[in-house]
Amino acid sequence: MSDHSAVVVGAGIVGLAAARALALKGYTVDLFERNPVATGASIRNFGMVWPVGQPAGELYNRALRTRHIWEHLAKAAGIWSDPVGSLHVAHTEDEWTVLREIHDQFLSEGRAVEILDAAALHRKSAIAIQKTARGGLYSPDELIVDPRQAIRLLPAYLSEKYPIRFHWGKPVTQVSGGQVIVEKKKMQADLIMICSGSDFETLYPLEFAAYPLTKCKLQMMRFMPEEKNQRIGAALCGGLSLIHYNSFKQAPSWEKLKRRFEMEMPDYIRKGIHVMVSQNETGALTIGDSHEYGLSPDPFDRQEINQWILEYLWTFADLKNARFIESWNGVYAKLTNGGADLFFSPEPGVYILNATGGAGMTLSFGLAEDRLSSILF
């Protein structure tokens, strides 16, 4: 038994990553989740581990580290994963220009990317529309998991492998003086990590208000392909994704492309829509998404947003006959100052790790290791 104790609040991907990192540092960890199972943003996403979207340097390296950990955990915990990579397709000349520019930049950074002409797209994608395509950019770094399965199976593995105890359906109602209060009972710990997503404002409302934080609501859908057992290949993205991810901003023609989208597709820009599709083990296709910002997100989905997503999807992916299964929304915390995460100590022995801005699956394991290494020796 370790001499050091820790409490983690929240069993989403950031909380799971923090618990694992603390256990590796020699802590005995008690993780509290207010719900019987995790139900937040960590299960409401594509399941894309997405290094291609991260800029060179610390964030890209953190994404690669997280991908490596995902590969290990998937094998050890019986979690399905698929290292299919990603394919960004261009259907206009300015999109194609940005892809070629970023290809050269990525190569100079040591990324193993490949530029494909339209005729070669079928090698990486079974659904990319070639007739009107200029070409595409393939990256092998991206890994797909099913977040619903992964977030369900990880706790069992972590509790078997490490000194981590999970307490389900146990909301932490107060944190103070190195202790947490759960069901009117106090638990002391050497270190407390708050990893409860945008919900951390219920424990530290003044701190939440003091930081440049907002909330992001996304809408997503799930479909089944027309052909049974069809595999689509690489996770597929359209041109709008080029202006969503920071890694593409270094392309010299990026600003010009962004202005064109703003002029021609104002509804998409206003709702933060960029369109991607990934596939899980069962063949189901996750399609999305939108990004609406505000401290009080609308709890209701808007059909017009889902329709805009599908109409744009059909311009670059042959999925018009896919069968609709379900739609949903998710909410996560995001920094408005461009920061990649929020890490601070509101009082001695307590740390808040939060606001990964929708990149939790991509960054959390590396992020938790990095942040804990900065405070633990």
Q: What pLDDT is stored for residue 199 in this prediction?
A: 82
Pairing between strand 276-279 and 235-237? antiparallel
Token digits for 98?
Answer: 């940005």
- pLDDT mean over 265-272: 97
The model's confidence at residue 198, banded by pLDDT at 50, 70 and 90, is confident
CB atoms within 10 A of CB 256: 12
Token digits for 246?
Answer: 């920071």
pTM of the shown model: 0.96
300: left (phi > 0), else alpha (psi -120 to 50), else beta? Answer: beta
- For all residues of the chain together, what is the average pLDDT? 95
Pick the residue with more confidence: 199 or 300?
Answer: 300
* CA geometry: angle 81, 342, 27, nearest 5 deg: 70
Q: Over the stretch 273-295, which tens digit does the pLDDT of each residue have?
A: 999 999 999 999 999 999 999 99
- Cα(261)–Cα(245) distance, integer angstroms: 15
Given a cut of 80, is residue 2 above it in pLDDT? no
The model's confidence at residue 105, banded by pLDDT at 50, 70 and 90, is very high
The model's confidence at residue 297, banded by pLDDT at 50, 70 and 90, is very high
The one-letter code for the residue type at 349 is G
- pLDDT mean over 152-165: 98
Of 195-199, 207-211, 218-222, 298-302, give the lowest mean pLDDT range: 195-199
How far apart, in Å, are the Cα atoms of 165 and each of 100, 121, 176, 219?
Answer: 49, 47, 21, 33
**Kind and range of the H or E element at 346?**
strand 342-347
CB atoms within 10 A of CB 177: 12
Q: What pLDDT is stored for residue 208 in this prediction?
A: 92
Q: What pLDDT is stored for residue 374 in this prediction?
A: 93
- pLDDT mean over 151-180: 96
The one-letter code for the residue type at 72 is H
Strand-pair partners of 236: 87, 277
- pLDDT mean over 345-349: 94
- Cα(176)–Cα(185) distance, integer angstroms: 13
CB 242 within 8 A of CB 258: no
- pLDDT mean over 19-36: 97
Q: Over the stretch 245-255, which tens digit does the pLDDT of each residue have?
A: 999 999 999 99
The model's confidence at residue 178, banded by pLDDT at 50, 70 and 90, is confident
- pLDDT mean over 52-63: 97
Instruction: Show the domains of the chain with their CATH numbers.
Output: 4-45+148-210+338-375 (3.50.50.60), 86-140+213-335 (3.30.9.10)
How far apart, in Å, are the Cα atoms of 38 and each of 34, 149, 329?
Answer: 8, 11, 15
Token pair 């311009």 is at which residue? 315
Q: Over the stretch 317-339, which tens digit does the pLDDT of each residue have?
A: 999 999 999 999 999 999 999 99
CB 346 within 8 A of CB 352: yes
CB 275 within 8 A of CB 261: no
Give the residue among 275, 319, 315, 123 at the shortest CA–CA distance from 115. 123
- Cα(374)–Cα(377) distance, integer angstroms: 8
Q: Report the SS3 class of residue 92.
A: coil
Given a cut of 70, is residue 377 above it in pLDDT? no
Q: Report the SS3 class of residue 14.
A: helix
Q: What pLDDT is stored for residue 376 in this prediction?
A: 86
- pLDDT mean over 147-155: 97
- Cα(133)–Cα(117) distance, integer angstroms: 8
